[in-house]
Amino acid sequence: MASNPNDLENEVKRLHAQVAALRQLLDVTTWLNDTLLSPDPQPERLLSTIMDAAAGLTGCESAAVLLWDENRNELYFASTNSNNPNAPNLIGTMVPMESIAGTIFQSRLPHRVDNVAADIRHYKDVDKDIGFQTRSLMGVPMIARGRVIGVLEVVNKKRPPFSPRDEQVLMMLAQEAAVAIEVARLLMALSTANRELSEVDRLKDTFISIASHELRTPLGIIIGYATFLKEDASNSETAEYADTVMGSALHLRSILDSMATLRYMTTNIADMHLEPIDLATLRNDLAAEVASLPGAAAHDIQLYEPVNGLKIKADRARLMLALGNVLDNAVRFTPAPGTITIDAKPRSHEVWISVQDTGVGITAENIERVFDEFFQVENHMTRAHGGLGIGLSVARTVIKLCGGRIWAESQGLGRGSTLTIALPQVP
């Protein structure tokens, strides 16, 4: 039996319409993805495009996006593309959970209402507030990562009633829209966090700059007077007091120097001067550095025997600053009498310089954080060891700029620690 030509023609038209709808959905999805990959996703543009596509694909007068506010536990109008001049007044308006949109949100199911006037769930205040008449409405939930984030609605079907195809198309669009909105939210949150971090960095740099500048002059005066008192002291007690003042002032100056160095190195990378450094010469420098550290004399310091001809590539002055900070850390966190072992061995194309101590050790959760700026292993109110918590951060910055690596190892509290620096070996 031959098919009715009219039926065939209608089927062809239906398929053409379906293909056109899917093509438009694909175009919208491509646009959403491209927009999300742009530097500024502009959520307003996302919502506008989603609503225009929703109204166009379903043959409706307008569309609206309602989102869930997790802080207020409310469903509210986030955007609408209605031509009604009062429509912008809807933005931010809360919608009762007993409404059609509220039902869709809670049930996670689509709803088609071809005669809104006969549905008691219709929130009539919306129409009243903007002078609008909603005749028909279809809405679907927007679900991202298994969670309902809002509702996508289309109103006033131009050729009613709503069809299953309308519902299917809107569900597909809502799925893409939910993912796009959620990603846009995450990107905005990330952007805000980055701006806040940038502001924190700016304030930190300002503080370091001001502190370094404003404290150096009075520190210089204090050190000068302490030196004068020590030289002119008539008894050992006065000399001891002068030494205490001098030691404290020099300690504060070293902290300021470390702060200023850290800030300088992160903004003046081009000033690094990399050169071959002989390990025998470095051993002598390390011996002198350890001897100058307060409290080092109370420990057994063991220095490596250099391998003839072994050289590393680094900035000499800044490498000594880094190693000095690592050694100072080992001395301060090792109860006397302790053992501090400094070793240097070739490893493939690198030389590993390690500083091992018998000190207080490091917990597993803090092993990576010890290199963070201003991080203190101990509580700052009760800690027994001095320092500002930037010595190892300075060391890490220097070593990285020299093309090397630095890491810490420890078996836990009370079991000492080892800090290892790997630097390029000169062939």
| Mean pLDDT per 10-residue interval, the chain, length 427 residues | 63 62 64 63 78 91 95 94 91 95 97 96 93 96 94 96 93 87 81 86 77 79 85 80 83 75 64 89 92 87 87 92 91 92 93 95 89 66 52 89 94 92 93
Output DSSP code: residue 359: S
What torsion do the CA atoms of 70, 72, 74, 78 make, to the nearest 10 degrees?
A: -80
* 3-state SS assignment for residue 281: helix
Lookup: tokens for 416: 């000492």
CA 369 to chain CA mean position, Å: 15
Lookup: tokens for 131: 């002078």
Q: Where exactly are the structural domains of the chain? A: 5-192, 202-269, 270-424
68: left (phi over 0), alpha (psi -120 to 50) or beta: beta
227 CB burial (10 A radius; 0-12, 13-18, 19+) = middle
Q: Classify domain 5-192 by CATH number.
A: 3.30.450.40
For residue 191, the model assigns a pLDDT of 81
The angle, 0 to 180 degrees and rounded to 10, between the axes of the packed helices 5-37 and 43-58 is: 180
Among 16, 38, 51, CA closest to 173:
51
> Top-level CATH class of 270-424?
alpha beta
Lookup: tokens for 11: 């089927």
Among 321, 301, 310, 238, CA closest to 277:
310
For residue 122, the model assigns a pLDDT of 95
Output DSSP code: residue 149: E
> Residue 88, preceding bond cis, omega within 30 degrees?
no
Output DSSP code: residue 161: S
Identity of the residue numbered 107: S
Among 101, 195, 179, CA closest to 140:
101
How far the first Cα of the chain sits from its last, in Å, is 89
For residue 162, the model assigns a pLDDT of 96
With a CB cutoff of 8 Å and minimum separation 6, the contacts of 182 are: 144, 145, 149
Beta bridge partners of 141: 151
* 3-state SS assignment for residue 372: coil
For residue 245, the model assigns a pLDDT of 87
342 CB burial (10 A radius; 0-12, 13-18, 19+) = buried
Please give the angle made by the CA atoms of 89, 99 and 96, to the nearest 5 degrees. Answer: 60
CA 184 to chain CA mean position, Å: 16
